[in-house]
Amino acid sequence: AMRHAGTHVGLLVLASAIGVSCMQANNGHSHEHKHDHGHDHGHQHEGGHKHHVKRSPEEWAKKLDGPDRDKYQKPELVIKAMQIEPGMVVADLGAGTGYFLKYLSAAVGDSGRVIALDVEQDLVDYMAKRSKEEGLNNVVAKKCGFSDSGLESGSADRILIVNTWHHIQKRVEYTKNLAPKLKPNGALYVVDFDKNSKVGPPSSEKLESSKIASELEAGGMKTEVLSESLPEQYIIKATAP
C-alpha cells in the first residue's frame, strides 16, 4: 500500500516533515508525507532522499480538523464503539494535530488519561498547547519513534489508530510489538478507509477490512469488524488472546 517507485515526489504526495505516525520505517530510509485525510502516517520511497513541503501544525489543523472531516469521521460514533470507561488510559497513535483528543479526554474523564503520540516534535508541541488551551488536563502529548510506540507494556486500556494502518510497512511485526502494550481486557481499534471511499488516499493504497483483520490475526490478536457504520471507513476491534 505504500510502495511508490523512485525518489521523486509524485502527485499522490503532499510531502511533509510533520504528521508522521508512530509506525515502523521499512529499512531506515523514511519519507514522511501527509495526505489530506486526517491522522498521520509515514511513507517510504526507495532511495532514501527526503523531500519536504513544510506546513505548520496550524496549517494542517485548518485543513484536517474542520467540519468536512466531522461529516465522515463521526468521532462520537468512534468513541462509542471503543466502549471507553471513566478512568481508562487511552493512547492515540499518530495523533497528528489532535483531532480526537477532546473526545477521548471527555470519555476517560478526570480520573483517566489520554496519551497522544506522534514522531514529529512540532505536532507534539502543538497538541500539548492545544490540550492546555482547551482545558484537557488529562491529556499528555509525547514524541515516539517509528518502531517504538513509547507505551509501556500493559499500560493502555485502549489504543486508537485512525487513517494510518494502511501506511505501516511491516504490519504483522508491528502488531506483535503493539499488542503487549494493552492491559488485560484492553483493545486496539483501527479506523481506516473503505476501498470505495471518496476521501483518503488513492484506492490502490486502501486496504479491505478483511486484509487488516488478517494482518492483526497474524500478529497474534483476535479481531472483529464492528457493525458501526461510518460513511467512508470501517472500524476493526482487536484484542490480545
In order along the chain (241 residues), what is the average pLDDT of each group of 10 residues? 34 32 44 46 33 66 79 95 98 94 98 94 95 98 85 97 86 94 97 92 92 97 94 96 82
What pLDDT, on the 0 to 100 scale, is given for residue 33?
40
What pLDDT, on the 0 to 100 scale, is given for residue 65?
79
Scored b (16 or more CB within 10 A) or e, 39-75 reads bbbbbbbeeeeeeeeebebeebbebbbeeebeebbbb
Name which of 230, 86, 240 is nearest 162 in CA terms: 230
List strand residue ranges (DSSP E) for 14-171, in order: 31-32, 42-45, 89-93, 113-118, 139-143, 156-162
CA distance linking residue 56 with residue 47, whole number of Å? 26
Residues pairing with 31 in the sheet: 43
What pLDDT, on the 0 to 100 scale, is given for residue 146?
76
Task: For residue 183, give the C-alpha cell.
Answer: 492491559
CA triple 28-34-39, angle to 5 deg = 105
What pLDDT, on the 0 to 100 scale, is given for residue 37?
47
What pLDDT, on the 0 to 100 scale, is given for residue 51?
36
CA distance linking residue 19 with residue 38, whole number of Å? 10
User: Could you tell me if 42 and 28 are in contact, meaning their C-beta atoms sit under 8 angstroms apart?
Assistant: no
DSSP conformation class of 33: B
